[in-house]
Amino acid sequence: MTLNLKNLLNPKIKISKMGEFQELQPIEGLEISAVSADLYKDGRDDLTLFYFREGANFAAVYTTSKVTSASINWNLNIKRHFVKALMINTQNANVFTGTKGAQGLKEIAHALSKNLTLKSSQSPKGVSEVVKITDLLFASTGVIGEEFPYLKIRNRIPELVKKLRSKQNKFVWFKAASAIMTTDTRPKVAYEECKIGNKLIRISGIAKGSGMIAPNMATMLSFIFTDANIPSVFLKAILKKVTATTFNSITVDSDTSTNDMVGIFATGKAKNSKIYNVLDPKLQDFEKALHRLALNLAKQIVVDGEGAKKFITINVIGARSTSMAKNVGFAIANSPLVKTAIAGEDPNWGRIIMAIGKSGENIVANKIQLKIGNYLVAEQGKVEKNYVESDVKEYMKWDSINIEVNLNLGSGEYKVYTCDFTHDYIDINADYRN
């Protein structure tokens, strides 16, 4: 399996190096491949396949947009919790493509089913098992409303299946993560370990996303794989809980895509002791590890926000509830005025106060305390008496900016992660289809 450098040869970005990335360990029961179907017309990888020869328990969360892709519709309609494969295409979202888009996806499913069934007959056990189309999941990302190039995709499925590799190393994961990118400047990968009982559990994950990823639900695309033996119903509960403070705590541009999906697949090969309920103490370490991995991926997305130069953490404390803290945090994070001020390294803290006020929450202005970095900027309805703007201006030159808002109304708190808003964002999205 060779790395397709065309995924990374964008003249506007610095080529990512594998040495910069976390070492991901292989997940037993998983095979991976990526090829080019020439969807981008430049030969970059744009099809990715994850295959579970013996199946995997599965759970996912999807976009809350009322306009969704044919891929998401397919996944929701088959209602499966145990699957054999996931295939992802980039460049084309397969949204607003009418019956042709849905029919094209079905033809792809039949072709993938046929080729994976053939592959199963070549297993060392010599057992042929039919891979049904209802065993398959799909994800898409790219331009909305363009005709779905299903023939190009269908024609490359034999090669995609042929190139499946069970021996995953850093190189294989890097290739897969690169193949799902669109406007991303670098692949996003993460790895964690934990224990369930006395069994070592491995968790590997990839993600894509840099814009159009407001977290009304799942944000962007992320696929997480583990060798743990956990029933789908418990995976779903844990994933929803973890997503709430990871993928759903980030925003780049306030938009919500039609194709957003976060999926987790458990092969069961770790052969850990049986899990009887979602509150089983044996799941605690797994949930913590999954949270670390998801937050890692979520932050990588923010860092790679289209045109982003600065990573911003907004910590809202002292709210009446978590919901209140979250709403205030996102009011700040999604404010173009706040994001452009930070891009310009201007300590214009009045814009943050403005954003708090427009949150729709019942704020008590005189109780607000505002910190930028370690500097107390404002409290009791006015600028703090010892505030020195030159100190904060110097702090604004940092690549990572922390903002803390204390509402002094209760114990609710929430962290939101975002990035600045630069002219590069306009350049990228004004030229997205080219």
Phi, psi of 80 (to 5 degrees): -100, 145
Catalytic residue numbers read 219
CA separation for the pair 294, 224 (Å, rounded): 9
Edge-first strand listing for the sheet containing 311-319? 382-383, 375-379, 369-372, 400-406, 311-319, 412-419
What are the CA-CA distances from residue 198 to residues 32, 251, 282, 286 (Å)?
28, 38, 10, 12
| Residues 258-274: b if buried by 16+ CB within 10 A, e if exposed | bbbbbbbbbbbbbebee
Two tokens at 15?
């080529």
Strand-pair partners of 36: none
**Do the Cβ atoms of 337 and 351 come closer than 8 Å?**
yes
**Do the Cβ atoms of 90 and 178 come closer than 8 Å?**
no
Is the sign of the CA dihedral 153, 157, 158, 162 positive or negative? positive
Of 221, 217, 284, the C-alpha closest to 249 is 217
